Amino acid sequence: MTKVRSQKSKVKSQKWIDKRIHQFSVFCVLTSVFCFLMSVIPHSAGAAATDKKSFTYYIYWSGIKGGTAVLDYENTKEGFVVRTHATSLPVISLFYKVDDFAQSTLYPDGYPENYIIKIQEGRHRREKAAWFERKEEGGSTKVVYQNVIDDEKKEFYFDTPVYDMLSAFYAMTKMPLEPGLSKYFDIFDTKKLWHTEVQVLRKEKIRVQSREFNTILIKPNLKSEGIFRRTGDVFIWVTDDDRKLPVLMKSKALIGTFTVELAEGDF
């Protein structure tokens, strides 16, 4: 009887651990990648070919560091490219490995040309791509969507220009952000078009990793699957300048609080 109870206790404990690890891994994806979605490109897509910058973020769960995320962007022969790469720390990877990559290539005006995403969260994997063809300036858009793992390919047509997740928030960096107002973007994700709101809340001066920043606090309201599975409200502090660089993000979970902090980069 004692042995049976012990085994049940172990199973229960393991389920609790697996649940906590799953929550943390989802956060790794949410915070690291979405933090970059609010992105972060201080130059235009037509900047000099030598432009290349990188930023690193630390991811914390209730004060414990559990992962890192890197954003970089550059001009290439294919176009202006934005990349994000989120990974869990080795100790977390022993239980639940997170290795998520996304890339968007932009036309000179900032609209997307193509978009790819590769997700690994434990046993869960996704690999998708989309190609965007605009018929005319400011006009309709053809999107060719591919799910690589399921060997699925479809075409979609929309009456207006659309964005992918990364290019949408690149566009946001080019807009004035006034507290009390919202910005809206049509984002193509997972075979649907989502009318997405970004609420501009207020301006604040904050300290992150021993640096002070004048910031604007925003709250994105994503309804799509995106690069992550939603875990609740997300609050992001971006610099109050032309770059709108994300420096801090916070989100509550069932247990604890998730925080993402800008640690280093090409300021």
- Residue 188 reports pLDDT greater than 80: yes
Q: What is the CA radius of gyration of the chain?
A: 19
| Predicted pLDDT at 82 | 86
pLDDT for the residue 195 = 86
The span from the CA of 75 to the CA of 47, in Å, is 7
Do the Cβ atoms of 53 and 73 come closer than 8 Å? yes
Mean pLDDT on 131-142 = 78
pLDDT category of residue 248 using cuts at 50, 70 and 90: very high
How many percent of the chain have pLDDT more than 90?
25
Predicted local distance difference test score (pLDDT) of residue 220: 83
Tokens 């080019």 appear where? 174
Give the pLDDT score at 196: 84
The domain ranges of the chain are 2-262
What is the helix (H) or strand (E) element at residue 145, kind and residue range? strand 141-147
Tell me the three state secondary structure of residue 164. Answer: coil
Taking residues 151-172, report their average pLDDT: 86
Q: Which residues, 6+ apart, have CB-to-CB distance to 195 below 8 Å? A: 184, 185, 186
Asked if 13 and 244 touch (Cβ cutoff 8 Å), the reply is no
Do residues 162 and 148 make contact, with C-beta atoms less than 8 angstroms apart?
Answer: no
- What is the pLDDT averaged over residues 113-120? 90
Per-residue pLDDT, 144? 95
Q: Give the other-Cβ count within 10 Å of 264's Cβ.
A: 12
- 11 versus 179: the higher-pLDDT residue is 179
pLDDT higher for 204 or 176?
204
pTM over 0.85: no
- What pLDDT sits at residue 20? 45
Answer for the pair 208, 248: CB distance below 8 angstroms, yes or no: yes
Q: Please state, rounded to an integer, the average pLDDT across all residues of the chain.
A: 77
Spatial CB neighbours of 238, under 8 Å, sequence gap ≥ 6: 38, 177, 215, 216, 218, 244, 245, 246, 247
**What is the pLDDT averaged over residues 157-169?**
84
pLDDT score, position 7: 55
What is residue 130's predicted lDDT score, i.e. its pLDDT? 94
Q: In which band, very low, low, confident or very high, does the pLDDT at 14 lie, cut at 50, 70 and 90? A: very low
| pLDDT at residue 78 tops 50 | yes
254 or 256: which leads in pLDDT: 256
The answer, yes or no, to whether residue 234 has pLDDT greater than 60, is: yes
